[in-house]
């Protein structure tokens, strides 16, 4: 859902404060990480995926995740790959993560393909055929055929199922040691079953993970939020499908407008409703904790969160939140 054409960089003092706080927390955690259990490349482990977008900062901000990624924490990273936006930066990021993957955590690769076409209007992958093949060859060469790699598409709701399945078959051809994921927005959730069945029946390949984006309007009560019955119903429908087929269900994206007190209303909507503000930044962290806790109660333990925003709209980038250390502490403290 996070699209370069739909999201806007959130700039200013909050980013600097957040970076400074994270630096302190990172050092503190790095010196005490031995008390946490090992998180190897196991799909059943608790995992928080921080997605690194290519249009994000080039000033080393993402490296503040290093102490968590390189430790035994449940935090891992995912790289968004778009051939028309800082492609080389994405390649460098993948190589950096792979070479520094001390605990052999899963590294997620989201083949976004293009950052210039709105996701709702992206109907054809064939113009990028050569790009995709060359990327998969490169990834195979640097990762020993996809070891500790989980790769897939998100959304691309209008492209033919047959075309998506073909490119998943190429992923498995070039990356036989990888796992495959696919996640979509709730409005196109039937694509999960369609793609899973077509890929299995036509190529004998199973998706290892299927999931949904989690945006919408939440219930609010005294500063806390919870998912609506419709959200819960949709999630459980596809979690049950995943459980039945012995594969993993996950939330590919969970997001709130950073610093917006009313970020729980139409959480995927453009622009601020109320904010940003100091109180709003604290509320944003609380909203994440509320919903992550509710997802854990539903036995959903893999959740994706975006590190940075797009360039024209929704400000979801948590690295700009001066209280992000509270969320990271919550993630780590609730992993034992």
Contact 253, 304 (CB under 8 A): yes
Three-state SS string over 85-101 comes to: CCHHHHHHHHHHHHHCC
Answer positive or negative: Cα dihedral of 287, 292, 297, 300. Answer: positive
How far, in Å, CA of 271 to CA of 164, rounded? 32
Contact 291, 218 (CB under 8 A): yes
How far, in Å, CA of 290 to CA of 83, rounded? 36
For residue 79, being part of any structural domain is answered with yes
How many helices, marked H, and strands, marked E, lie in the chain? 9, 10
- Tell which residue, 231, 211, 198, 216, has the closest CA to residue 155: 211
For residue 5, being part of any structural domain is answered with no
For residue 230, being part of any structural domain is answered with yes
Burial 85-101 (b: 16+ CB within 10 A, else e): bbeebbbebbeebbeeb
How far, in Å, CA of 22 to CA of 120, rounded? 35
Contact 254, 313 (CB under 8 A): no
Give the structural domain span for 39.
13-333
Q: Looking at residue 2, what is its pLDDT? A: 53
CATH number, domain with residue 274: 3.20.20.70
Answer positive or negative: Cα dihedral of 49, 115, 95, 131. Answer: positive
For residue 149, being part of any structural domain is answered with yes
For residue 255, being part of any structural domain is answered with yes
DSSP annotation of 37: P
Structure tokens at 332: 């780590």
Q: Looking at residue 85, what is its pLDDT? A: 93
Name the β-bridge partners of 47: 302
For residue 107, being part of any structural domain is answered with yes
- The number of folded domains in the chain is 1
For residue 178, being part of any structural domain is answered with yes
User: Which residue blocks in the chain are alpha helix, DSSP H?
Assistant: 13-30, 66-69, 87-99, 129-142, 161-174, 190-203, 229-244, 278-297, 324-333
Q: Looking at residue 32, what is its pLDDT? A: 39
**Across the 336 residues of the chain, what is the mean pLDDT of every consecutive 10-residue run?**
43 37 43 38 82 80 87 95 94 96 96 89 95 98 98 95 98 98 94 97 98 96 97 97 98 93 90 88 97 97 85 69 92 85
Strand 209-214, strand 107-113: pairing: unpaired
For residue 4, being part of any structural domain is answered with no
How far, in Å, CA of 159 to CA of 132, rounded? 15
- Tell which residue, 241, 256, 252, 264, has the closest CA to residue 303: 252
How far, in Å, CA of 40 to CA of 103, rounded? 6
């Amino acid at each position: 859902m996070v699209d370069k054409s739909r999201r806007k960089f959130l700039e200013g003092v909050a980013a600097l404060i957040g970076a400074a706080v994270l630096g302190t927390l990172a050092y503190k955690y790095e010196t005490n990480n031995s008390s946490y259990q090992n998180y190897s490349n196991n799909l059943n482990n608790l995992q928080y995926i921080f997605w690194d977008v290519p249009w994000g900062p080039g000033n080393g901000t993402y490296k503040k995740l290093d102490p968590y990624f390189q430790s035994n924490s449940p935090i891992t990273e995912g790289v968004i790959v778009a051939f028309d936006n800082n492609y080389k930066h994405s390649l460098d990021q993948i190589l950096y993560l792979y070479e520094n993957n001390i605990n052999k955590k899963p590294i997620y690769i989201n083949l976004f393909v293009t950052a210039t076409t709105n996701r709702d209007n992206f109907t054809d992958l064939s113009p990028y055929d050569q790009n995709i093949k060359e990327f998969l060859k490169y990834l195979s060469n640097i990762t020993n055929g996809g070891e500790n790699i989980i790769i897939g598409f998100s959304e691309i709701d209008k492209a033919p199922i047959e075309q998506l399945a073909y490119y998943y078959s190429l992923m498995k051809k070039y990356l036989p040691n990888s796992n495959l994921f696919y996640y979509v927005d709730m409005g196109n959730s039937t694509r999960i079953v369609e793609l899973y069945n077509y890929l299995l029946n036509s190529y004998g390949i199973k998706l290892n993970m299927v999931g949904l984006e989690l945006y919408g309007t939440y219930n609010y009560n005294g500063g806390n939020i919870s998912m609506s019955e419709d959200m819960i119903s949709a999630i459980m429908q596809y979690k049950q499908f995943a459980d039945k087929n012995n594969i993993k269900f996950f939330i590919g994206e969970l997001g709130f407008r950073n610093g917006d007190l009313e970020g729980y209303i139409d959480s995927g909507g453009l622009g601020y409703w109320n904010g940003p503000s100091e109180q709003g930044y604290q509320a944003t962290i609380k909203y994440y904790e509320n919903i992550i806790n509710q997802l854990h109660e539903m036995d959903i333990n893999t959740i994706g969160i975006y590190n940075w925003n797009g360039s024209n709209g929704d400000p979801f980038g948590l690295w700009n939140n001066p209280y992000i250390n509270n969320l990271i502490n919550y993630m780590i403290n609730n992993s034992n």
